[in-house]
Structure 1
Amino acid sequence: MPLERLERFNPGVDPRRLAVGQRLLIPTQQERAPSGGPYRYQIRPGDTFSGVARHFGTTSGRIQSANQGTSPTALRVGQIISVPLSSTARPPSSSPSRPTNTRSSSASTSTSAPTPSASLPASARRWPWPLEDYRVVRRFGADSRGTLQPMLLATQAGARAKAVAPGEVRFADSMRQLGDVVIVHHADNLQTVYALCEQILVRVGDQVSTGDELCEVGQSNATQRYDLLFDLRQGGKPIDPRQVLR
């Protein structure tokens, strides 16, 4: 890949001041970035018009105008859109100093994709699964684009996610694209995240024990399944739950 092409797809990154763990946008074969725009951009998981606009230094309104007939609330992964540059935007190769990324904020997002922790505390051993009746429809790990994906569990209507270990509820509210979310902090700087819920059953500050019900699992509009997104972290870094759950 030509260096110039990589720089054009990362206009907010200074190539002389890269940071460990910094996230870069790697263009696919279907994407193009002519020097004056508009860009040919392929939608990735979690993308929104506003997030893409921030990344390329333009506005969501300009993207919407350039993609008539495309609903900003129904974007599909792999879909190609046109991204016109703002008339006041700096050239893509000018490398502004503040890096950005196209992913929207969520409970489980970070600007990097850390590898799973190799050493776990003694307390993180043989935790029960968060659901009694489940099947793993997506394992923890990187997808085809190298983006780290949390575990996804399919279950039945009315199923309730349960705490996998004692801890304190630090977050219990809705998040964009993740539905209702519960985050529990445990000993040894461990955190568990329960997302895509329909109804939260706890409050921030609650002390929970193993097996306590946290939320009722919601139904996905896209798949019609009842899915729970389950994430395990140590100090904010994702861990493969299969290393801990029995």
Structure 2
Amino acid sequence: MASILLSGCIPAGAPRYAPYSRPAPQPSRQPAPASDRVSTLPAPPPAWEARPVTADAVQVPSSIYTVESGDSLRRIANKTGAGSEAIARANNLHAPYTIYVGQHLTIPGGRYHRVHAGETGIAIARAYGVPWDQIIAANDLEPPYTLRTGQRILIPGNKPMTVAERAAAFNLDIEDIVTGGEPAAAPHEKPAKPTASPTRVLPATTPVRPPAHMRGDFIWPVRGKILQGYGPGKPGNRNDGITIGVPLNTPVEASASGVVVYVGDQVPSLGGVVILKHGDNYATVYGHVSRILVQRGQSVKQGQVIARSGDTGLADNPELHFEIRKGRDPVNPVSKLPQG
């Protein structure tokens, strides 16, 4: 089983998967099994587990291709096995990607994985043992980082890895869930329309339609003492959000209207987690909750109760870990929340 840690806090100069703002836990400080401490609504496992990826990337050699009559960028990609986006970047082509007969195009070599229906960035990263952020960089992916069925993406690195090595290299963090957790959609497939009801159980491999734009400002999800602020904390540690002390079972409210994109307990350091997307590439994260009251694909309104606070994961006390993210980047929540 792959090691799964939290990205909430990042030791300076160390891999970004260290537990946030606390020293590495000792054996006696391991979190209790999340399933024993986090109450969730009935739901399928997330898409990266429901739709695992086979590491069947094709190794494509670097070459020069001469454009023939009837060629398009996608047809050339199918002929060579390289990604159409990678070919466009290598040749400085921009939409509408006009090419002409006799033109010489550079075909960038490398390992190319063809995305199948329902696959996620997380599952692809897990299959190859390559961090999702490296795949994002290698393919120049932009927010919202959505994959499409049939797309060929470049997998960084060429070193063969065993199954055990790939599992050991894989880490799941909040950034990955926010930017690599949605299933790939066919070019003309419409994502599922959000519903207001938590009783609808959306198939894990069905894409969710997030809001295009955010409406209004953020509000505090709970009221309480800030136990740990954003940024550097204890020596060598960093918090990507804020930690708010609250009594057990305090209602946790949606900081802004949006759509639920993740509910679960797969980040042991955080225990129960709810993630919302709000449009304009904003997302909010609610961790350490003990009871989750919403479903993936559910539309929620600002101020709606989405969970109950807890002390799950590596929480020292009853508390809420709260993050605001813009794309992959964390934002100091206090700078976005009402003062006073």
TM-score, normalised to structure 2's length? Answer: 0.39
Instruction: Give the C-alpha shift of residue 200 in structure 1.
Output: 0.4
Which letter maps to 2:27? P
Q: Between Structure 1 and Structure 2, whose CA radius of gyration is higher?
A: 2
Higher helix fraction: Structure 1 or Structure 2?
2
- Provide the C-alpha distance between the structure 2 equivalents of 1:73 and 1:103, rounded to a whole number of angstroms: 24
1:74 paired to 2:63: no
* Conserved? CA contact 1:191–1:236, under 8 Å: no
Deviation by residue 1:68-118 (Cα, 9 ceiling, x = unmatched)? xxx63537xxxxxxxxxxxxxxxxxxxx998x99995332579xxxxxxxx
The separation in 2 between residues aligned to 1:158 and 1:146, in whole angstroms, is: 28
**1:142 maps to which of 232, 236, 239:** 232
Residue identity (%): 22
Change (3 A) 1:236 1:223: closer
**How much does 1:177 deviate?**
1.6
Q: 1:161 aligns with which of 244, 247, 252?
A: 252
Structure 1 residue 222: Cα displacement:
7.1
**CA displacement, residues 216-243 of structure 1 (integer Å, 9 cap, x when unaligned):** 1112687763100001000120000111
Displaced runs of 4 or more, over 6 A: 100-103
Residues paired across the two proteins, number: 152
Query: 1 CA distance for matches of 2:232 and 2:216?
Result: 24
Q: How much does 1:141 deviate? A: 0.9
Measure the CA separation in 2 of the matches of 1:134 and 1:150: 15
Contact 1:106 1:177 in 2 (8 A): no
Q: Structure 1, unaligned stretches of length 5 or more? A: 1-22, 27-43, 49-70, 76-95, 111-121
Shift of 1:149: 3.8
Q: What pairs up with 1:1-20 in 2 under 5 angstroms?
A: none
Give distance in 1, aligned partners of 2:237 and 2:294: 34
Return closer, same or farther for 1:201/1:221 CA change in 2, 3 Å cut-off.
closer
- Which residue in the other structure is 2:174 paired with? 107
Q: Which amino acid aligns with 1:158?
A: N
Name the structure 2 match of 1:171.
Answer: 262
Q: 1:158: how far off?
A: 2.0
Match of 1:65 in 2: none
2:271–2:313 Cα contact (<8 Å) kept: no
Which is richer in strand? Answer: 1
Relative distance call for 1:221 and 1:244 in structure 2 (3 A) is closer
SS state at 1:181 partner? strand
1:210 to 302, 310, 320: 302
Task: Supply the RMSD in Å over aligned alpha carbons.
Answer: 3.6
1:233 aligns with 2:325: yes
Q: Which amino acid aligns with 2:221?
A: P
**SS where residue 242 of structure 1 aligns?**
helix
The corresponding residue for 2:289 is 197
Counterpart position of 2:14: 25
- Which has the bigger relative contact order, CA under 8 A and spacing at least 6? 2
With over 3 angstroms needed to count, the CA separation of the structure-2 counterparts of 1:223 and 1:196, relative to structure 1, is: closer
Query: Separation in 2 of the partners of 1:221 and 1:107?
Result: 14
Q: Distance in 2 between matches of 1:146 and 1:224?
A: 16
Residue 225 of structure 1 aligns to a residue in which SS? coil
**Structure 2 contact 276–283 (Cα < 8 Å) conserved:** yes
The answer for the alignment partner of 1:187 in structure 2 is 279
Give 1:10's aligned residue.
none
CA contact 2:249–2:290 (8 Å) conserved in 1: no
Deviation at 1:190, TM superposition (A): 0.1
> Which runs of 5 or more residues in structure 2 are unaligned?
1-11, 16-20, 31-156, 160-165, 178-212
CA contact (8 A) 1:130 1:162 kept: yes
